[in-house]
Amino acid sequence: MTRTVRGARVLITGAAGGMGRMYAERAVAEHAASVTLWDRDAAALARTVDELGAISRGRTRIQSFVVDVGDLGAIAKTAQRVRREVGNPDVLINNAGIVRGNRYFWNTDNGDDTRTTMQVNALAPMYIAREFLPGMISNAYRAARIVNVASAAGTLANPRMAVYAASKAALIGWSDSLRLELEQSDHGNVKVTTVTPSYIATGMFAGARGPVLAPVLEPEYVVDRVWRAMLEGRPLLELPRSVRFSRALRGLLPTRVFDRVVGDGFGVYRSMDRFTGRR
């Protein structure tokens, strides 16, 4: 799987549009055996399936399941259907995510904001991976990949997105720990890639401003980089490179100095001031 996903079974969450759809298009173009799409938007999912089917011309089986990954109880039921109807995936891309922004934490709602964000961004990837990992591990001679799309927000604190930052920090900690557990247990056929991009121009972060040295990224660029990292089994992908630089400074500088130099000076702490998100 170092070059293509040809012949592999691929499952993507949040796949009805945006970057999820782009990952699906890449899998179809490389003649994956099957591409399974998860999304809560039934209408958009149906359109995506039709359009991908036209592209694949029967070379790749396109399967879709309407599921809200924030409904943790629905994950096991849907995963059971996937294993029965399609087979255990070789590639799992945990792409689905949500953001609630432009509010300080005390103005958020525990139910609609905090609980939902943590369920979709942090818990759902864990639940989904837990469903399919045993099958990936048991087939030791078949390469498998898990991609967990986190965020640079999970590596640096940022006002007006406290819960989102927390959810992505949790995802990063779990994802890289899972990678180490697989390596420690000699399950080398399953490789985990954690992705920590800055803002991406998908509409999800409409209104957000890219800090100095971290411009808003184009989704096509991110998908290409993530795809290559996934195929190579790279442990961590930070986009742009300044994310790594900021993380290094966070470890070197005293907190108040970091706040002034990077948070305020680079504009990180004001990047969400004009956030609107998808309308």
Indicate which residues carry an active-site annotation. Answer: 164
3-state per-residue secondary structure call for the chain: CCCCCCCCEEEEECCCCHHHHHHHHHHHHCCCCEEEEEECCHHHHHHHHHHHHHHHCCCCEEEEEECCCCCHHHHHHHHHHHHHHCCCCCEEEECCCCCCCCCCHHHCCHHHHHHHHHHHHHHHHHHHHHHHHHHHHHCCCCCEEEEEECCHHHCCCCCCCHHHHHHHHHHHHHHHHHHHHHHHCCCCCEEEEEEEECCECCCCCCCCCCCCCCCCECHHHHHHHHHHHHHHCCCEEEECCHHHHHHHHHHHCCHHHHHHHHHHCCCHHHCCCCCCCCC
